[in-house]
Amino acid sequence: MKLVITLCFIITLIFSCSSKTTTTTGTIDRWCTQTPHYQTCHHFVTKRNTSTAAITINQFLDLTVHADTDEARVVLKRAKGIEANYPKDPEKSLWHSCVDYFDDVVFELNEILDHTPDVSSPEDINNSISASLTDVDMCEDEFAAANITMSPVITTNLTELVLNSAAITVAIIGGNPPPSF
């Protein structure tokens, strides 16, 4: 999983730094086609906003972070439910840790949406998004370290959504729209 995240960041950075495009607005569908996980983007972002009007990359980032937050809340609720079903360790402790990690993800993403002073620049937003990815990865890593299988279904959409938002912030920092994948 770490390798996938690292590769996505490197690919995004390389393309965003090397491809200059003058497009500053586009539809949600157009922006989604330029993210690493188009289908996930399209499904979750259009569920929240069905408009076909042109939007800026910054508006698109807000929409993707809203979708990230919605999915993070779903994952948090799911993890709490799973944790409640395990009466003893080690699974209960692992799920409890994941609940904490997913709670942190919701907090980080809400700070972006609330435009708090701590998250005011594209770099700050990228740091918060990276922290969210790290939290999801930490949950998965703890299960792997304990040789216990955690269903990837619980985090797959969240990981893909946050990776899309990361690609967008890297593109904003570089002054380019996200690269086509």
Q: For 94-127, write each residue's pLDDT tens digit.
A: 999 999 999 999 999 999 999 888 888 889 999 9
Q: What CATH number is associated with residue 14? A: 1.20.140.40
- pLDDT over 90 (residue 179): no
Token output for 27 = 């539809």
The answer to the question of residue 151 being in a domain is yes
CB 5 within 8 A of CB 137: yes
pLDDT band for position 17 (50/70/90)? very low
Number of domains in the chain: 1
Supply 23's token pair: 């497009």
In a domain, 181, yes or no: no
Going from the C-alpha of 137 to that of each of 32, 61, 113, 142, 143, the distances in angstroms are 24, 22, 22, 9, 10
> Would 179 be classed as within a structural domain?
no
Mean pLDDT value of segment 150-176: 88
**Could you tell me if residue 105 is inside a domain?**
yes
Residue 3 has pLDDT above 70, yes or no: no
Q: What range defines the domain where residue 93 resides?
A: 2-174
Q: Is residue 106 part of a domain?
A: yes
- Cis? peptide before 90, omega within 30° of 0: yes
In whole angstroms, what separates CA 11 from the centre of its chain?
Answer: 16
The verdict on residue 102 lying in a domain is yes
Residue 144 lies in a domain: yes
- pLDDT of 22 above 70: no
In terms of average pLDDT, the best of 10-14, 156-160, 177-181 is: 156-160
Q: Give the span between the Cα atoms of 76 and 104, in whole angstroms.
A: 10
Say what the pLDDT of residue 124 is: 93
What residues pair up with 26 in beta bridges, in sequence order?
55
Domain-located, residue 50: yes
